[in-house]
Amino acid sequence: MTSSRFFFNGGVIRQNIRQHGWIGILYLAGLLFTLPLKLILGMPYTQAIRLRDLFEYHGEEQMIFILSLPVIAGVFITRYIQSRPSADLYHSLPLRREHLLTAHITSGLMLLIVPVWLTAAITAVLSGRHDLDYFFTLSDVLSWAVTVTVITLFLYSFSLLVGMCTGQSIFQAIAAYVILFLPMVLSGLLTAHFDRYLYGYPDPGRTSHTFEVFSPLYRMIAISETTLSGLELLIYTALAVLFLALSYPLYKKRHIETAGQAVAYVFFQPLFKAFVILCLMLLGSIYFHSQSDGKTGWTVAGYMLGAVVGYVISELIIRKGWQIWSRKAVFELAAYGAGIGLLLYGSVSGITGYETRIPAAYSVEAVYMGDYFDWSDTEEENSYSRDPDYISAVLSLQREVVNVRPPEIPDADRPETYRNVSISYRLKEGGMIYREYQIPEEQFRDELKNAMELEDYKKSSYWLYKLNGTASSVEISSGISPNRRVIIHDPAEMREFEQALKQDMDRLSYEEMTAKRIPEAVIDIYWKVPGALHNLHQFKSYPVSRMFTHVQAWMNKTGYAKNIKVDPGSVGMEIVDTKDYSLADAMNGFTGLAEAFTQLKETNGGYTVEDAELKKQVLEHHSDFDFGKEDAAYLIRTTVGVDERYSVLYRKDMTPELEKALRGNSGN
């Protein structure tokens, strides 16, 4: 009884409730206004929409309170050790430190946990009702309450732990959020560093494995999109317990005199300096590298300036004044800068073997290759292939790329003859290898052809694994007149169509996959996103050429072809010669094809094509403009009703008969 009374001292708890009770009231009000009250005030739909979870309904607004109040509570609960008068008063009480801390922790938990479960109880009364705009069950309410409780415990315990290590309340709050975001920020800075110096380093923004997942705070902000899994809840609960457990020994070793100091423990100061200097060095290098177009000298200057600024900032925070410079400080700055600089250099040097590391075929369990890492978590498994021939083809392509190492070109300057190739290996012993290259297609044509013509490449790149009768709709439109289209919803017709499309895709050659020809038709297949709130869809587009014989036959059989196909005779067509004119230069100067057409018509003249057979030949061979091709012979404007588009005829795409006919019509 005595132990219990000391550990849960009623006087301390009551004092905290009186002094900081506004935190609990604000937390309760915030949760009530963002959940049950919004549900009651919402405009009812004809039929209530089933919620995936309660975070799907204004989850961002809920997070404003869930992510702020627990941290604020931790700051105010530990306020008594941040102020010297309060610290002297509380530590003069006949209570041991562990008793004081337990009483303060308990009072903070009461302020935070009670509002969560009161809100859950009120929301539970509304569950199962169909007169609201959204429908949810008691299990949804329980799941919400447990998740919010875990997040609250995690943030509160982390704020307490930070409070044990700092001596200023404002710095405690800032440090808590900075540290929660630090894994994401540091990962982003290191990624920019690696991407600059490591050949083949993938852009994490194009993968599903981005560095945002390393930040607990970012993960919680995005909870309305993806709820925390059971494993994540267990991890955050374990971390909360760990933070609380660590608070006791840290508090026991804490000196009362550290109240008012930024960092309460001397042994934390070198770590604090190192992290600040590391972040500022990386940030400085990124800024100077981008502003100087990658000049090495300026990039190195960015690292050096970042080290100086980082050291000054960390010293100012620790010492709370400008008296930071001395002979020792200069040597210390040099030591930090040199040490961190060596670590950064070593991470991108040849010592790591990153650039030349290619797994052996026997160690690869599965492989993915595509333009980008663009799968979702639910589709990732279907994107990988275990076919030995495909694995061998991808490995051969990577070996050749690594051996040749073509120069990488920034996205803004990259010609269309360059292809982005993303490769991912899943290894048998566990672990993943990701690489991304920008390579000239013609130089690696044979290796690309060997990989891209295999069935598993088409399966992942063209989502053939989704052509299984689960589509919600299929839209087919004309290639030159998008307003001419049909939309198919009938499940039986869609299954027939998917089978025809699969047959044509299986026969597709590398040349047909990489051709820039304007298609006869464009197919958009839509799939409903599972669990989406507002009927969201994802879609894939397929350009249809003359080689899609099964699709063409199916469209003719069903009668849809007559709604899509355009009679060449009804197409308005004007052609201008591009002699003495560079379309690439014009497009680089932000001149559109429409303006280029007008300029060419004024200088070179143009003519209107009247012959239906000539129109047909042009429509079979015209293409979209390609920066990588310099042999554009003619610029074309076609009109079908209100639809207008511009295209190009390249010399190598024209048959001798077509070239002769066009030359004869132009009078050249």
Report the percentage of the chain scoring pLDDT > 70: 88
Residue 116, pLDDT above cutoff 90: yes
Give CA–CA dist 225/164, Å, rounded: 34
What confidence score (pLDDT) does residue 168 get? Answer: 83
Counting Cβ atoms within 10 Å, is residue 540 exposed (0-12), middle (13-18) or buried (19+)? middle
Give CA–CA dist 460/117, Å, rounded: 46
Residue 1, pLDDT above cutoff 50: no
Supply the mean pLDDT for the chain: 83
What confidence score (pLDDT) does residue 373 get? Answer: 75
Helix spans in 572-626 (H):
583-588, 593-604, 612-621
Residue 402, pLDDT above cutoff 90: yes
Interval 360-388 mean pLDDT: 81
Token reading at 175: 């440090």
The domain limits of the chain are 2-259, 282-352, 361-461, 464-564, 568-666
- 92-96, 208-212, 595-599, range with greatest mean pLDDT: 595-599
| Lowest-confidence segment of 217-221, 336-340, 422-426 by average pLDDT | 217-221
Give CA–CA dist 406/419, Å, rounded: 12
Helix (H) or strand (E) holding 526: strand 521-528
Give CA–CA dist 153/223, Å, rounded: 16
Counting Cβ atoms within 10 Å, is residue 278 exposed (0-12), middle (13-18) or buried (19+)? buried
Q: What is the pLDDT of residues 254-283, one digit of tens each?
A: 877 777 777 777 778 888 889 899 999 999
Q: What is the pLDDT of residues 150-200, one digit of tens each?
A: 999 999 999 999 988 887 888 888 889 988 888 888 888 888 889 888 899
Residue 235: count of CB within 10 angstroms of its CB = 15
| Lowest-confidence segment of 32-41, 113-122, 420-429, 518-527 by average pLDDT | 32-41
| Of residues 13, 16, 32, 22, the one with CA closest to residue 148 | 32
Residue 48, pLDDT above cutoff 80: no
DSSP string, 176-242: HHHHHHHHHHHHHHHHHHHHHHSTT---GGGSSS-GGGG-HHHHHHGGGTSPPPHHHHHHHHHHHHH
Residue 473: count of CB within 10 angstroms of its CB = 16
Counting Cβ atoms within 10 Å, is residue 639 exposed (0-12), middle (13-18) or buried (19+)? middle
Interval 617-644 mean pLDDT: 79
Query: Over the Cα atoms of the chain, what is R_g?
Result: 32
Between 226 and 448, name the one with better pLDDT.
448
Residue 604: count of CB within 10 angstroms of its CB = 16
| Lowest-confidence segment of 92-101, 464-473, 517-526, 637-646 by average pLDDT | 92-101
**With bands split at pLDDT 50, 70 and 90, how would you rate the model's confidence at 530?**
low
Q: What is the pLDDT of residues 588-616, one digit of tens each?
A: 555 677 888 888 888 877 888 888 888 88
| Lowest-confidence segment of 266-280, 306-320, 356-370, 624-638 by average pLDDT | 624-638
Rounded to two decimals, what is the model's pTM? 0.76
Give CA–CA dist 77/104, Å, rounded: 6
Helix (H) or strand (E) holding 29: helix 10-34
Helix spans in 295-326 (H):
296-319
Give CA–CA dist 386/454, Å, rounded: 12
Q: Determine the residue type at 251.
A: Y
- Residue 580 region, left (φ>0) first, then alpha (ψ -120 to 50), else beta? left
Residue 59, pLDDT above cutoff 80: no
Interval 450-476 mean pLDDT: 89
Between 146 and 631, name the one with better pLDDT.
146
